[in-house]
Amino acid sequence: MEPRYTPTAITLHWLIALGITGAFGLGVYMHELPLSPTKLQLYSWHKWAGVTLFLLILFRLGWRLTHPAPTLPGTMSPMQRLAAGAAHWLLYGLMIAIPLSGWLMSSAKGFQTVWFGLVPLPDLLAKDAALGDTLKDVHEALNFTLLGLVVLHTAAALKHHFIDRDSVLTRMLPRFQKS
């Protein structure tokens, strides 16, 4: 049988992929809106989603560190293996850095993050408008780096499936029937 990711890893992968897509789209949409109750609501939702994703990602990172990924197909060259490894760890790094940068930006801009309006996150920075603007640029740059990497990640997965015809994509797909 082909090596597969654990069901937990598969669930976390797709849940986080969906969450990131939503939070990214919301972020792009909301930041150009004129000030309105809707805008404030969307910002809160985006922050709540970000905190939730951050926690899921921390759990996923812990899972990944204690449950090694299945081995890559023998057909892959050492160069490809190196690139795949680097891309995956870079994705993890960005998934940690992006919510952190958003949290720091909120603190610097003087708007505390209160998860679901109930759990206040400590402000890690004092209010500083200039720093807030810098962190906004950082948050944006990290996000577009992630977007580029996700495009690459998806293209690589599709190449493995349709060109190399190996199991690299399918081992991360949920299995709907027991075999």
Partner 1 sequence: MMHPAFPRLALAAALALGAASTAQAVEYGTLDNGASQVGFRYSQMGVTLDGQFQQFSAELHFDPARPEAASTRFEVPLASIDTGSPEGNDEVKAKTWFDTTKHPVARFVSSSVKPLGSNRFEVTGQLSIKGKTREVSFPVTYTPGTPAATFDGTLPLRRGDFSIGEGDWSSFDIVANKVDVTFHLVALPLASK
The mark string for 18-37 relative to partner 1 (x by CB under 8 A, - otherwise) is -----------------xxx
Name residues contacting partner 1, limited to 115-154 (CB under 8 A).
116-118, 120, 127
112 binds partner 1 (CB under 8 A): yes
100 binds partner 1 (CB under 8 A): no
CB 30, min distance to partner 1, A: 13
CA dihedral sign, ordered 154, 155, 161, 162: positive
User: Is the CB of residue 170 less than 8 Å from the CB of residue 2?
Assistant: yes
Nearer to partner 1, 7 or 120 (CB): 120
The CA distance from 109 to 126, in Å, is 9
**Nearest alpha-carbon partner for 135 in 113, 110, 105:** 105
CB 46, min distance to partner 1, A: 12
- The span of 1-9, 60-68, 109-117, 152-160 binding partner 1 (CB under 8 A) equals 109-117
DSSP string over 66-110: HSPPPPPPTTS-HHHHHHHHHHHHHHHHHHHHHHHHHHHHHHHHT
Q: Which residues form the interface with partner 1 (CB under 8 A)?
A: 35-38, 40-41, 44, 109-114, 116-118, 120, 127
